[in-house]
């Protein structure tokens, strides 16, 4: 199939491109490189030994999208492009709404225009807000308390409306838990700009000597050791989830929603200690106040994806931290 991947140069997109190319798909990437590097795509080609087509363009530009849909006979779209930093979204909400929501609307409109009705959308476990119970199943109530989360919820709703208006659409809303890790080759991985917001890149940068100490945001949560618990999932497992979702779309399922998580939660300290074992060094940390908006614990019930997609996360915490470390030590400055 010919797959258009928006945001394909980014962290999850680049890893997904590997899976798609390895499965023999033709991959067309559109990315404005606002949070990524073209080098990620050259490395994807090197790893797979296959070529992809890259457009350094913005999904907000309808005429550009039309040109791409005119040039290629696209069978399905995987839509990663978006801004993703929760804290930043509270500072510049309009940019988040414009980029994430308007960008998605433009894309969906062009898809409709060209009768391309197969879509995989990057949603997030953030749409569950602060869940009343764990593990989280797909039918849990949704909510959002920041512009980023609201943008994901709204796009999910837009997708539902499109499907209800025209049941020929097939849409998989994938709710990712906490993606970490890197391709096993150490050639591609997560390369945040500036100070990392997320736990794993921060730990990796402390371990490599780029930052002094990890601030742990609170140790007074009602969890095993007081630190926050999350469902960390290896980015290559996540990438494989997208291939399975594309397969599912071929069966014309209508609109489907899947959690992509492992079903296991690990605390900040557990992750830190796992990283120390792999890096064979102590990683300095200190406890600070809770981060606004954080919840105590969050992990998926991944059974629906197993049942309906035949997908399950295969890699464990050791794989996740060792692949992160491998990427970090081989690319201490990220892509440059
Ligand atoms: P990323 O920032 O690495 O990738 C997003 C890519 O989209 C970047 O390469 C960026 O340059 C591109 N982009 C942004 N706006 C664009 C636009 N208007 N036009 C063209 N390209 C644009 O982020 P990621 O971690 O790979 O996340 C991918 C998707 O998954 C995002 O939608 C994100 O919200 C979602 N998601 C991420 C996480 C996570 O923790 N990483 C968790 C849940 C959901
Ligand atoms: C994990 C744990 C922190 C950094 C975010 C988004 C979510 C999704 C994934 C996009 C928490 C603790 C972190 C640090 C710390 N993204 N922590 N010190 O907050 O679960 O989820 O990314 O959809 O929407 O909110 O991930 O990696 O930031 O935090 O102690 O320097 O690590 O408090 O318990 P989070 P995270």
pLDDT digits (tens, 9 = 90+) for 138-164: 999 999 999 999 999 999 999 999 999
CA 254 to centroid of ligand 2, rounded, Å: 32
Calculate what percentage of the chain has a pLDDT beyond 70.
100
CA neighbours within 13 Å on the CB side: how many for 283?
Answer: 28
Does residue 329 sit within a domain? no
Q: What average pLDDT score do residues 197-210 get?
A: 96
Residue-wise pLDDT tens digits, 318-329: 999 999 999 999
Examine the pLDDT at 331 and tell me if it is beyond 90.
Answer: yes
Residue-wise pLDDT tens digits, 88-115: 999 999 999 999 999 999 999 999 999 9
Shortest-distance ligand to the CA of residue 60: 1
pLDDT of residue 336: 82
Question: Do strands 266-267 and 229-230 pair parallel, antiparallel, or not at all (unpaired)?
Answer: antiparallel
pLDDT of residue 174: 99
DSSP lists the bridge partners of residue 216 as 287
CB within 8 Å of 211: residues ≥ 6 apart:
195, 202, 205
Residue 17 belongs to a domain with what CATH number? Answer: 3.40.50.720
Confidence of residue 124 (pLDDT cuts 50, 70, 90): very high
* Residue of 16, 80, 86, 181 to test ligand 1 pocket, by largest number of atoms within 8 Å of CB: 80
* Residue of 230, 259, 260 to test ligand 2 pocket, by largest number of atoms within 8 Å of CB: 230
The per-residue b/e assignment along 170-204, b for 16 or more CB within 10 angstroms, e otherwise, is bbbbbbbbbbbbbbeebbbbbbbeeebebbbbbbb
pLDDT of residue 322: 98
Does residue 76 sit within a domain? yes
Tokens found for residue 240: 């494989």
CA 42 to centroid of ligand 1, rounded, Å: 18
- Is residue 298 within 8 Å of 262, Cβ to Cβ? no
Tokens found for residue 183: 């391709």
Does residue 119 sit within a domain? yes
DSSP lists the bridge partners of residue 120 as 78, 172
Question: Ligand 1 pocket by C-beta < 6 Å: which residues?
Answer: 7, 9-13, 30-36, 58-60, 80-84, 99, 103, 122, 124, 176, 179
Looking at the annotation, which residues are catalytic? 148
Does residue 40 sit within a domain? yes
Spatial distance between the Cα atoms of 269 and 107, rounded to a whole number of angstroms: 41
Does residue 307 sit within a domain? no
Spatial distance between the Cα atoms of 309 and 21, rounded to a whole number of angstroms: 19
**How many domains does the structure of the chain reveal?**
1
Residue-wise pLDDT tens digits, 11-44: 999 999 999 999 999 999 999 999 999 999 999 9
CA 10 to centroid of ligand 1, rounded, Å: 6
pLDDT, averaged across the chain: 98
Domain carrying residue 25: 2-180+231-262
Spatial distance between the Cα atoms of 294 and 282, rounded to a whole number of angstroms: 26
């Amino acid at each position: 199939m010919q797959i258009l991947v928006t945001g394909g140069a980014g962290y999850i997109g680049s890893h997904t491109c590997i899976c798609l190319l390895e499965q023999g798909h033709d991959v067309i990437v559109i990315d404005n490189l606002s949070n990524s590097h073209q080098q990620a795509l050259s490395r994807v080609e090197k790893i797979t030994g296959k070529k992809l087509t890259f457009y350094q363009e913005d999904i907000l530009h309808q005429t550009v999208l039309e040109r791409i849909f005119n040039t290629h006979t696209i069978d399905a779209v995987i839509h990663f492009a978006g801004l993703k930093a929760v804290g930043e979204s509270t500072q510049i909400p309009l940019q988040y709404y414009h980029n994430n929501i308007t960008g998605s609307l433009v894309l969906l409109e062009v898809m409709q225009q060209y009768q391309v009705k197969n879509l995989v959308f990057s949603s997030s476990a953030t749409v569950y807000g602060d869940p009343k119970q764990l593990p989280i199943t797909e039918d849990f109530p949704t909510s959002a308390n920041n512009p980023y989360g609201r943008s994901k919820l709204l796009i999910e709703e837009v997708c539902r409306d499109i499907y209800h208006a025209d049941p020929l659409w097939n849409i998989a809303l994938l709710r990712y838990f906490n993606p970490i890790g890197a391709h096993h080759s150490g050639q591609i991985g997560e390369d945040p700009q500036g100070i990392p917001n997320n736990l794993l890149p921060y730990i990796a940068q402390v371990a490599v000597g780029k930052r002094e100490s990890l601030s742990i945001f609170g140790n007074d949560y009602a969890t095993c050791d007081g630190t926050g618990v999350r469902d960390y999932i290896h980015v290559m497992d996540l990438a494989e989830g997208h291939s399975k979702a594309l397969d599912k779309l071929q069966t014309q399922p209508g609109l489907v929603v899947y959690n992509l998580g492992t079903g296991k939660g690990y605390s900040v300290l557990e992750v830190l200690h796992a990283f120390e074992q792999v890096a064979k060094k102590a990683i300095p940390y200190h406890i600070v106040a809770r981060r606004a908006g954080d919840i105590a614990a969050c992990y998926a019930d991944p059974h629906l994806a197993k049942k309906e997609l035949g997908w399950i996360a295969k890699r464990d915490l050791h794989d996740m931290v060792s692949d992160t470390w491998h990427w970090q030590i081989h690319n201490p400055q990220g892509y440059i």
